[in-house]
Amino acid sequence: MDYIDSPEHREWLSAEGLRLLSFAKAAQATDGFAGLDAQGKLPASAIADTLITARMTHSFALAHIQGVPGCLSLVEHGVQALRGPLHDARHGGWFAHPHGRGDNGKAAYLHAFVALAASSAVVAGAAGAQGLLVDAIRVIEARFWSEDEGALRESFSTDWLQPEAYRGANSNMHATEAFLALADVTGDTCWLERALCIVERIIQGHAAANDYRVVEHFDAHWQPLPEYNRDNPADHFRPYGTTPGHAFEWSRLALHLEAALRSARLHTPDWLLASAQGLFASACQYAWGVEGAAGIVYTLDWNNQPVVRERLHWVHAEACASAAALLRRTGEPQYERWYRCFWAFIDTHFIDRAAGSWHHELDPANQPAATIWAGKPDLYHAYQAVLLPTLPLAPSLATALARNVTKR
Any domain includes 2: no
pLDDT at position 408, please?
A: 44
Ramachandran class of 364: left when φ > 0, alpha when ψ lies in -120 to 50, beta otherwise: alpha
Active-site annotation holds for 360: no
Closest CA to 19 of 360, 394, 354, 390: 354
Any domain includes 1: no
Any domain includes 124: yes
Range of the domain at 398: 7-228+237-407
Domains in the chain, number: 1
What is the CATH number for 45?
A: 1.50.10.10
pLDDT at position 1, please?
A: 67
Q: Rounded CA gap, 293 and 279, in Å?
A: 22
395 CB burial (10 A radius; 0-12, 13-18, 19+): buried
Any domain includes 51: yes
Would you say 349 and 342 are in contact if contact means Cβ atoms under 8 Å apart? Answer: no
Any domain includes 298: yes
pLDDT at position 203, please?
A: 98
What letter represents residue 100's amino acid? G
Q: Rounded CA gap, 277 and 120, in Å?
A: 28
- Return the C-alpha torsion angle 352, 355, 356, 360, nearest 10: -60
What 3 state SS string does the chain have? CCCCCCHHHHHHHHHHHHHHHHHHHHHEECCEECCCCCCCCCCCCCCCCHHHHHHHHHHHHHHHHHCCCCCHHHHHHHHHHHHCCCECCCCCCECCCHHHCCCCCEEHHHHHHHHHHHHHHHHHCCCCHHHHHHHHHHHHHHHHEECCCCEECCEECCCCCCECCCEEHHHHHHHHHHHHHHHHHHCCCHHHHHHHHHHHHHHHCCHHHHCCCCCCEECCCCCECCCCCCCCCCCCCCCCCECHHHHHHHHHHHHHHHHHHHHCCCCCCCHHHHHHHHHHHHHHHHHECHHHCCCECCCECCCCCECCCCEEHHHHHHHHHHHHHHHHHHCCHHHHHHHHHHHHHHHHHHECCCCCCECCEECCCCCECCCCCCCCCCCHHHHHHHHHHHCCCCCCHHHHHHHHHHHC
Per-residue pLDDT of the chain (408 residues; tens, 9 = 90+): 689 999 999 999 999 999 999 999 999 999 999 999 999 999 999 999 999 999 999 999 999 999 999 999 999 999 999 999 999 999 999 999 999 988 889 999 999 999 999 999 999 999 999 999 999 999 999 999 999 999 999 999 999 999 999 999 999 999 999 999 999 999 999 999 999 999 999 999 999 999 999 999 999 999 999 999 999 999 989 999 999 999 999 999 999 999 999 999 999 999 999 999 999 999 999 999 998 999 999 999 999 999 999 999 999 999 999 999 999 999 999 999 999 999 999 999 999 999 999 999 999 999 999 999 899 999 999 999 999 999 999 999 999 999 986 554
pLDDT at position 404, please?
A: 83
pLDDT at position 103, please?
A: 85
Any domain includes 212: yes
> Which pTM value belongs to this model?
0.98
Inter-CA distances, 177 with 153, 194, 352, Å: 16, 11, 28
Any domain includes 16: yes
Active-site annotation holds for 246: yes
Spot the catalytic one: 87, 313, 316, 381: 381
Q: Rounded CA gap, 124 and 208, in Å?
A: 37
Q: Which residues share a beta bridge with 168?
A: 217
Spot the catalytic one: 246, 313, 349, 360: 246
